[in-house]
Structure 1
Amino acid sequence: MTALVETRALTRHFGGLKAVESVDFRLEKGEIRAIIGPNGAGKTTFVSLICGRIAPSSGAIVFEGRDITALPAHRRVRAGIAYTFQITSIFPRLTVFDNVALSVQRRLLSAGRPKPSALKAGVGEALERVGLTERAGTLAGNLAYGHQRLVEIAMGLALEPKLLILDEPTQGLSDGEVEGFIALVREIASDATVLLIEHNMQVVMDLARRITVMNFGQVLAEGSPDEIRANNAVQDAYLGTGSDG
């Protein structure tokens, strides 16, 4: 069976720092996979390599059976990889509608000249999925932080990705917003694969089918939530501290 994403000996060094070191990774279509680990473990660098924000020092990245190691980030977006940042990257002086419209327009333009009706429909669908329909006309910068995170997720969904990468999506969210986020990710997983870096272990255990634990740029452990809970090295190093980054 062909994996949606596969990395082979993927490596990224920054001078003498081995941020990611010879990582072999496989993500199946339809999964919700979590990546956890302490600060400096290489998690964000690893997903940045997958989405093309940075280039590897060596190794390979395969998406749907195609080697995309040399493919630039914008072409990976067209191929179906969407990434939301650890820190919100919305346009605060644009409305919620216009923020999401930028993503819809990008997707439609890659398929030809977009019709206004298609643009409006695409924005409406994305906003409905994240529960922001009533805030479509609000300036994004005037939203509460949790709603800004949802705008960014809507921007990712508007690209109709095959793979949605979420970097610490629950950071700054209230307990109620976290519950809503868990429900949203389960809904997203009905038609997209989700890869998330997350510090909230309850969210990880509730959502992920499999968990990848990174440390010092390498994979320390991988398995189901129950297997990760039972892993003494993981428990001692990470789950007991609750740290991530």
Structure 2
Amino acid sequence: MTPLLTTRDLRKNYGGLRAVDGVDFAIMPGEIRAVIGPNGAGKTTFVSLICGRVPPTSGQIVLDGNDITDLPAHDRVRRGIAYTFQITSVFSALSAYDNVALPVQRTLTGRSKGRLHAGVMSALERTGLADRADTTAGALSYGHQRLLEVAMGLALKPRLLILDEPTQGLSDGEIESFMQLAREIARDATVLLIEHNMQVVMELADRITVMNAGKILAEGTPEQIRANAEVQRAYLGTEA
């Protein structure tokens, strides 16, 4: 099977700081891949390079065989890459419904209120927010704002959905529902998530990429990562 997305010798420097330092990476279609590592490991910078929020210093990003290294973020969205931010970026003055309607409109070729409504409610229902459709986003709890961001990403019908700390602020019950949702999403799309909740990572991910100091320290199944001595020293510690 051909990877959906690959990076080759990908680098991002900020002055003398090598935030991403020569990363070779590949993710397969339908995979749930977790990226973990200590704070400052380069995880968010790495996914920001993939979605086009920041330009690379050097290296290459290939999506489904096409070089997208120089494409702006909005063109990557059109090609199927959706990204939810580590810090919530919903439109707080708009309702949950209207927040999701904005990305749904990008997927519609013509004006159809019926298709728009169906697309919005489908995304809200999948994330458990249908009963909060009319609630102003700013009035939602932080955890529900996180889920609203996921709904906005789903509304784009992505091929690759990148989630940055998606379970932050969620209750235990909401985390369980999120994991079920992620497995459902992976039937139609590929999921790449940055996550600090190791229980979520170990239960949800097909494979795990561990970053440290801008480089990939290790990759493997949850069992392989849990047993990796280097990963234990650099990140997992007593959690391994």
The TM-score range, normalised by the shorter chain, is over 0.9
Matched residues in 2 for 1:72 and 1:90: separation? 21
Q: Encode CA deviations 1:183-205: one digit per residue, 9 max, x unaligned.
A: 11111111110000000000000
Of 162, 185, 189, the residue aligned with 2:182 is 185
Match of 2:66 in 1: 66
Match of 1:152 in 2: 149
The residue type equivalent to 1:71 in the other structure is L
TM-score by length of 1: 0.95
Offset of 1:2 from its aligned partner? 2.0
| 2:162 is the counterpart of 1:165 | yes
Helix, strand or coil at the partner of 2:19: strand
Offset of 1:146 from its aligned partner? 1.1
| 1:28-107 matched pairs, under 5 angstroms | 28-107=28-107
| 1:109-124 matched pairs, under 5 angstroms | 112-124=109-121
Task: Report if the CA contact (8 A) 2:209-2:220 is conserved.
Answer: yes
Of 210, 234, 237, the residue aligned with 2:234 is 237
Task: Report if the CA contact (8 A) 2:212-2:234 is conserved.
Answer: no
Runs of 5+ unmatched residues, structure 1: none
Matched residues in 2 for 1:24 and 1:47: separation? 13
The residue type equivalent to 2:206 in the other structure is R
Matched residues in 2 for 1:198 and 1:85: separation? 12
Q: Encode CA deviations 1:120-166: one digit per residue, 9 max, x unaligned.
A: 11101111111111111111111111111111100000000000000
Identity percentage of aligned residues = 69
Q: What is the root-mean-square deviation of aligned Cα atoms in Å?
A: 1.0
| 2:122 is the counterpart of 1:125 | yes
Runs of 5+ unmatched residues, structure 2: none
Match of 2:213 in 1: 216
Helix, strand or coil at the partner of 1:87: coil
Return 28-37 or 118-127, whichever deviates more.
118-127
Q: How many residues align?
A: 239
Matched residues in 2 for 1:71 and 1:144: separation? 35
Q: Encode CA deviations 1:9-40: one digit per residue, 9 max, x unaligned.
A: 00000010000011000000000000000011
Task: Report if the CA contact (8 A) 2:82-2:158 is conserved.
Answer: yes
TM-score by length of 2: 0.97
Matched residues in 2 for 1:131 and 1:107: separation? 22
Matched residues in 2 for 1:211 and 1:181: separation? 18
Q: Specify whether residues 139 and 241 from structure 1 end up closer, same or farther in structure 2 by C-alpha distance, changes over 3 A only.
A: farther
Matched residues in 1 for 2:190 and 2:53: separation? 19
The residue type equivalent to 1:158 in the other structure is A
Return 196-205 or 165-174, whichever deviates more.
165-174
* Shift >4 Å, 4+ stretches: none
